[in-house]
Amino acid sequence: MALPTLDPNAPDFTRRYVNLADPRLGAQALEASDEFFAPKERMLNPEPAVFIPGKYDDHGKWMDGWETRRKRTTGYDWCIVKLARAGVVKGLDIDTSHFTGNFPPAASIEAAYVPGGEQPGGSTQWTEIVPSMTLQGNTHHYVDVADGQAYTHLRVNLYPDGGVARLRVYGQPQVDWTNASRSAPVDLAAMENGAYVVAANNQHFGAASNILMPGRGVNMGDGWETRRRREPGNDWAIIALARPGTITKLEVDTAFFKGNYPDRCSIQAAYVTGGTDSSLITQAMFWPTLLGEQKLQMDKQHFFESEIAAIGPVTHLRLNIIPDGGVSRLRAWGVLA
């Protein structure tokens, strides 16, 4: 499977937050007004959209996305997407890659919270989170969303018809911690629990947010990989944990990284109150050591328990990879504070 390459012009939210519309996490395209030329499910595929010259099917030119027929009546086309997790949407990418004479001139996005994640119905309250905006063909449309509510479903409206290659919904999953155990460890660095990447010094070959994804990496593209370092120092990524907790077990997985895994790693941690995410970059250099320098091996899951320092509850980690290279996954199991 080809995984997305990093768009250098993409806003921070694409590197920081999880794609809540990722079918690998459980997102689904539930219903659409029309999908004559290309099915709605294709719009959520995790790999980048492709164009295959000369490929046709029974309905016409094969397109990699969701595409409706030319509308000859009043109204507009729409698709309802169930998000993988209830979450606060931070930003979207409405991607019309390869749609040139058949993209929608405009689109808007509505959102709803349906308790229990059931299918929206006639009584569902929809909130417009992206007002109608002009679209271009063959373009990524990045949109910041300032709404702070958690939602379970989105409705994509196309005015009046056309095709969207990919929809990405970047956000922070909302987890109800009220009845969570205070003694059983939970992965506080898991994206599906609400952890996110605050910053990383380099993400040349792969986004640092990949290390917080569920499961093991599927290939070398499904991890965080930095460029080859040609100067002193080391590469690093700062992670905001899902909840404050005392870390009891760590995993650093170098799956698929063989000639390019880091030689060593270490982890610093702190309980942070106040300040902004950007102010953490300087602070993090001086955080206490949670895990001293450890030698790493290629294509291997490394587990650490006895090596972890007792520094109490923390809210953030800084993963140092020495000097550079690729890491597939980071896990930080901890007991909630």
Contact indicator for 277, 239 with CB cutoff of 8 Å: no
List the chain pLDDT tens, one digit each, 337 residues. 445 556 778 998 998 888 999 998 899 999 999 999 999 999 999 999 999 999 999 999 999 999 999 999 999 999 999 999 999 999 999 999 999 999 999 999 999 999 876 789 889 999 999 999 999 999 999 999 999 999 999 999 999 999 999 999 999 999 888 888 888 999 999 998 999 999 999 999 998 999 999 999 999 999 999 999 999 999 999 999 999 999 999 999 999 999 999 999 999 999 999 877 788 999 999 999 999 999 999 999 999 999 999 999 999 999 999 999 999 999 999 999 9
pLDDT for 63 equals 96
Span 82-116, pLDDT tens digits = 999 999 999 999 999 999 999 999 999 999 999 87
Domain borders along the chain are 12-173, 186-336
Find out if CATH 2.60.120.260 is the number for domain 186-336: yes
Q: How far, in Å, CA of 193 to CA of 185, rounded?
A: 13
In angstroms and rounded to an integer, the radius of gyration of the C-alpha atoms of the chain is 21
- Total residue count of the chain as it appears in this document: 337
Residue with tokens 């958690």: 150
Give the side-chain half-sphere CA count within 13 A for 211.
38
The CATH architecture that domain 12-173 belongs to is Sandwich (2.60)
CA dist., res. 218 & res. 255, Å (int): 8
Nearest to 212 by CA among 329, 40, 52: 329
Fold: same for 12-173 and 186-336: yes
Helix residue spans in 144-238 (DSSP H) = none
Q: What is the pLDDT of residue 1?
A: 47
